[in-house]
Copies of this chain bind each other. A is one copy, B any other.
Amino acid sequence: MINKVAIQGVIGSFHHIVSQEFFSNPVDVIECMTFDRVVDALITKECDAAIMALENSIAGSIIPNYALIDKYGLHIVGEHYLDIQHNLMGLPNQNIEDIKEVYSHPMALLQCKAFFKQYPHIKLVEDKDTAEVARRIQEKNIPGIGAIASVKAAEIFELDILAHSIQTIKHNETRFVIVKRKNAEVLESEINKASVKFEANHKRGSLATILNVMSDCKLNLTKIQSLPIVETPWKYAFFVDVTFENYLDFKKAKSVIDIMGDDFKVLGEYKNAKI
């Protein structure tokens, strides 16, 4: 059983929400300010699992996190999807006219810029984290200051939400993965998704050949991403996610591609969380 996981951000952050929704038991978290620190906490055995955002529907893949998983040989043991919604919050019994300044992460401020155009009296100030500002408002009991964070953060830090879903693009689904140092003992009967990495050159057909094997083995492709391999011109690494009904089909594909492809690596075999 997992009791402690490393997350990016603090309590009330989206990574924290994933940690509470994914595991069947409550888990403690190690709050990390960078993804490098998240991986560090895992490999130095401060915890037995870590949570990392891998892609979102606005910005696409978070390539550096793929690189971290690949470099440190981590194993993806599960995935979780969250629809990211930003909310404006402050100390109770205030209304939006009382808020003079809003502190948040530059990315959150950017995503909510259109909303704040209606409130020119509010000054936007960059800060290092979203949920951390919510915590500070509560701890130091600061009126007149707003935070942009999750509903969960408002609950934890007992703040009132003054406006819901204030981000410009309303739908921002983010995919998180749960990673471990070693492959978890997921039951084969429960595995219906896998993430793999392989290399191939740009010569015509080399990728198509591998995808044909996957197709012949009844695998459905849900994501593909090529990355040039900097040291080797015209050679590419492909990160591919596939789903399947029968684990034996994936096993068969693995053994065939292993022979054909260079540097074929399974980054994880797990249960598909997307219905």
Contacts and interface: CB of A to CB of B under 8 A. Distances in A.
Interface of A: 57-61, 63-64, 106, 126, 171, 173, 202-205, 207-208, 211-212, 214-215, 218-228, 230, 234, 236, 238, 243
A220 B204 contact: yes
A204 B215 contact: yes
20 contacts: A57-B230, A58-B63, A58-B64, A60-B61, A61-B61, A126-B126, A202-B221, A202-B243, A204-B214, A204-B218, A204-B219, A204-B220, A205-B211, A207-B211, A208-B214, A212-B212, A224-B224, A224-B226, A224-B238, A225-B226
Question: Do most interface residues of chain A lie in helix, strand or loop, or is the interface mixed?
Answer: mixed
A64 B57 contact: no
A128 to B, nearest CB: 11
Number of copies: 2
Most chain B CB neighbours (cut-off 10 Å) among A59, A219, A238: A59
Contacts of A211: 205, 207-208, 211
A60 B238 CA distance: 12
Nearest to A274: B233
Contacts of A126: 126
Nearest to A56: B63
B203 A220 contact: yes
Nearest to A55: B228
Contacts of A207: 211, 221, 224
Contacts of A218: 204
Contact of A64 (B59, B214, B226): B59
Contacts of A222: 202, 234, 236
A257 B207 CA distance: 17
Contacts of A214: 204, 208
Contacts of A223: 226, 228, 236
A63 B60 contact: yes
Most chain B CB neighbours (cut-off 10 Å) among A60, A227, A238: A60
A238 to B, nearest CB: 8
A60 B243 CA distance: 24
Contacts of A243: 202
B202 A60 contact: no
Given A208-B214, A211-B211, A215-B208, A60 B227 contact: yes
Most chain B CB neighbours (cut-off 10 Å) among A202, A211, A214, A222: A211
A86 B140 CA distance: 40
Nearest to A126: B126
